[in-house]
Amino acid sequence: MDFSFADYQDRLYRGIFRPPDIFRPYVAIRPDAYRALDEQHMREGLRIENTFGQLNRRVGWEYFWKVYPVQSRTLDWAQLSFPAYRFILGEVLQDDWLATVDWHKFNRDHALHQPLTAYIVLKMLTGAGEDGWEIEGHHLLDLCVDEVIKWEKTVYLREFLEKSDSERGGSLGFLFDGSILSREIWKALFVETAFLAATFHDLGYPWQYVNRLNSKLEHAGYLKDSPTADAKRIVDEFGKRLLFCPLNGYGIVGSNAPSTWKEQLIDQTAVSLRDTHGLPGAIGFLYLNDVLREYPEGESALREFCVEWAAMAVMMHDMKKVYWGKNGTATMPENKHLRLRMDVDPLSCIVTLADVLQDFERPSVQFSPCTRNSKRTHADYEYEVQSVSIDYVNAGYRTLRINYRCDDADAACRKQTYLRYTQEEYFDPQRGYLDLSACGIERVELGVFS
């Protein structure tokens, strides 16, 4: 299966790429809360047209006319899936541009990356108008849902949904009866929630930047409140939500948990706030839904479950650093319970895999050196990866081959350098962060072509 920006555009043009919308809206909105946010948004001069106008001035015609249509479609879809998105779009695009031109480390676009990650998710699971991806004759979507509805290692999902449903009158028992209907509902739910998570999976970058800055200032003696204090508040306020299940070993904290466990949980949360954009993004996603939604009245528990499940995937797609710990791959992982396994957390596995795959049409900026008397600096937006393909082969080992196609040999060499880290961190067969063995993938091989 091949993925590219041209393929994405072609599917839009032919009308066969349709974002899933069976369960929208996911939360019931309080009109007064929405109006209050809208009024503040207008007072601060963050109108959508201003946002796109400022972006156009900074990135050039070619890149702008790739971002503008894609983000406009995302904004339309978000009206019923994540209504608060329009109030943060300006900051998200601004931070994205700042990150792209930053010199601290290698930075790239996320304005195109997030919608294109959602495109990959939808194409892998459903075909996005054609046929979904298959592994030895089995559709990937079926393999994912099989793991969910076994209710063995995914029982935490069932327990959370049943508890939420009981608070709404208990009408969802049929989802667990093993019928053909319940399976079809879970398939639709999986696709839609994966698409939702992928579309907004990198929202945490602005928060991560603030947390990084706070940690630097803390060491310099400028802050009274440490990141750990923020972590304690987050554990207190969000600790019962679904996204904290992975931090608890994919379960609800039992009555026999060690008395020291909460402190360990706070420490993990503090590290996750500082070193990842996954947890900040998930917290922001939940909070911006919470601030608008009706409670205790609201939508059905199933619709609201989409938001909770998506938030967990947003967090887990970037918990690799916390999983490995401060020594990285030089030692055994510090937090083994955070490893992403297809039989435990198939949704996060799919979103994370798509995030790794989506490396095409991501510009990095190259600046021309300033001349002695020049008042200008020239910036070029370069797209090194043109497309990516996935193939499943069974030759001794059941293997997923991921191939990135670059525009020239130099770009291929640079990409190959980064892939060595990706191979070890994500796909080491024994210790890699992403374990796909439950769906028949024992080994992952990464390649680059020009």
pLDDT of residue 220: 43
Give the rounded percent of residues in the chain with a pLDDT score beyond 90.
61
Q: Is the dihedral of CA 79, 157, 351, 401 positive or negative?
A: negative
The region, left, alpha or beta by phi > 0 then psi within -120 to 50, assigned to residue 298 is: left
- Closest to 122 (Cα-Cα) out of 1, 243, 23: 1
The residue with greater pLDDT, 123 or 215, is: 123
State the total domains in the chain.
1
pLDDT of residue 214: 56
* 217, pLDDT greater than 50: no
Residues 6+ apart with CB under 8 A from 76: none
- The span from the CA of 37 to the CA of 285, in Å, is 15
Mean of the per-residue pLDDT values of the chain: 88
- Which stretch, 161-175, 282-296, 309-323, has highest mean pLDDT? 309-323
pLDDT of residue 397: 86
What DSSP assignment string belongs to 394-435? EESEEEEEEEEEESSHHHHHHHHHHHHHHHHHHH-TTT-SEE
Cβ burial, residue 161 (10 Å; 0-12/13-18/19+): buried
Side-chain half-sphere exposure of 304, counting CA atoms within 13 A:
27
Helix (H), strand (E) at residue 38 = helix 31-43
Parent domain of 76 = 2-369+377-449
Residue 5 has which token pair?
Answer: 């920006």
- The span from the CA of 203 to the CA of 85, in Å, is 10
pLDDT of residue 209: 59
Separation of CA 105 from chain center: 21
Q: For residue range 296-314, list pLDDT tens digits in order.
A: 888 899 999 999 999 999 9
Q: For residue range 93-130, list pLDDT tens digits in order.
A: 887 787 777 766 556 677 899 999 999 999 999 998 88
Q: For residue range 374-384, list pLDDT tens digits in order.
A: 777 777 777 88
* 218, pLDDT greater than 60: no
- pLDDT average, residue stretch 427-450: 94
Q: Is the peptide bond before 227 cis (omega within 30 degrees of 0)?
A: no
pLDDT of residue 227: 44
Mean pLDDT lowest among 92-106, 195-209, 255-269: 92-106
- The span from the CA of 62 to the CA of 365, in Å, is 13
- Closest to 349 (Cα-Cα) out of 238, 433, 250: 433
- pLDDT average, residue stretch 194-207: 88
Which ranges in 276-398 belong to alpha helices (H)? 278-290, 301-316, 320-324, 346-357
Q: What is the pTM of this model?
A: 0.93
pLDDT of residue 143: 97
* 390, pLDDT greater than 90: yes
* 321 neighbors 165 (Cβ within 8 angstroms): no
- The span from the CA of 284 to the CA of 208, in Å, is 11
